[in-house]
Amino acid sequence: MDLKDKVVVITGASSGIGRACAIEFAKRGAHLVLAARQYVKLCEITQEIHEKYKVKTLAVQTDVSKEQDCKELIAQTISTMGRIDILINNAGISMRALFKDLDLEVLKQVMDINFWGTVYCTKYALQEILNNEGSIVGVSSIAGFKGLPGRTGYSASKFAMNGFLEALRTENLKNNLHVMLACPGFTASNIRNVALNSEAKSQGESSMEEDKMMTAAEVAIRIVDGVEQRKRQLIMTGQGKLTVLMQKFFPKWLDHLVYNHFKKEKDPLI
């Protein structure tokens, strides 16, 4: 796919992978509609990108956990840009707490943003993307292939996203719809800082070594390359590829490896 003059909608675009994807798409000539809750920050990003890369940009304040917000995001995109070619479902939130200790509101919030946000945006954008034989991307996680301790809600939301998008791909097998699952592995961003604790409040500090992770810019390049090449799935790290492989063939052994890995994080939960 040649990205020049394509219209790309990116959720969760005010920071991290979403912001990095916006910059990478703009470098390749795509026009952008950026969605997030932080409207002022979003407007600053769209203005910077417009001035630097000379592409059309639009900021739309959006809480993807609200169906009406997602509906209005897509309506504003079509009204302003005239079309939608690519939807990047990137908005997401994490959590960190043992299931036995947490308030169920934690799981509800995570599912509302990570899963239902993807469903809502995809629902209202689908027909336009089908008309243009475009792309729908879900920014997922290795947690969508292997349940991770202390992340029951996060893993559940990513498993649900993966299943939803895989079913959507199969439903539209003859419609030339491109559906891609992008699984970055651990990426340096603020997602762990704002991860919900057992009381559904931001934990405030990452439990992992952020400086040893992939950068958001590196992840964005791979995602945009994947859209251009219409790839089916991106597992971006060797650790991630090994995890997916072992989950298929040695799941019990992998349970122990994952358990021991998470025992070593800062302030371990297990």
Average pLDDT in the 169-186 region?
A: 94
Average pLDDT in the 130-157 region?
A: 97
pLDDT at residue 187 tops 70: no
Average pLDDT in the 90-101 region?
A: 96
From the list 120, 124, 154, 259, the catalytic residue is 154
**pLDDT, position 212:** 65
Which pLDDT band, with edges at 50, 70 and 90, does 207 fall under? Answer: low
In terms of Cβ atoms closer than 10 Å to its own Cβ (0-12, 13-18, 19+), residue 205 is exposed
Which pLDDT band, with edges at 50, 70 and 90, does 254 fall under? Answer: very high
Which pLDDT band, with edges at 50, 70 and 90, does 113 fall under? Answer: very high
pLDDT above 70 covers a percentage of the chain that reads 94
- Of 40-44, 123-127, 205-209, where does mean pLDDT reach its minimum? 205-209
Domains of the chain by start residue, with CATH: 7-240 (3.40.50.720)
Which pLDDT band, with edges at 50, 70 and 90, does 53 fall under? Answer: very high
39 assigned to active site: no
Per DSSP, the three-state class of 127 is helix
Compute the distance between CA of residue 161 and CA of residue 62 in angstroms, rounded to an integer: 19
In this structure, the number of other CB atoms found within 10 A of the CB of residue 199 comes to 12
pLDDT at residue 202 tops 70: yes
Q: What's the order of all strands across the beta sheet hosting 31-36?
A: 57-61, 31-36, 7-11, 86-89, 135-139, 178-183, 233-235
Q: pTM for this structure?
A: 0.93
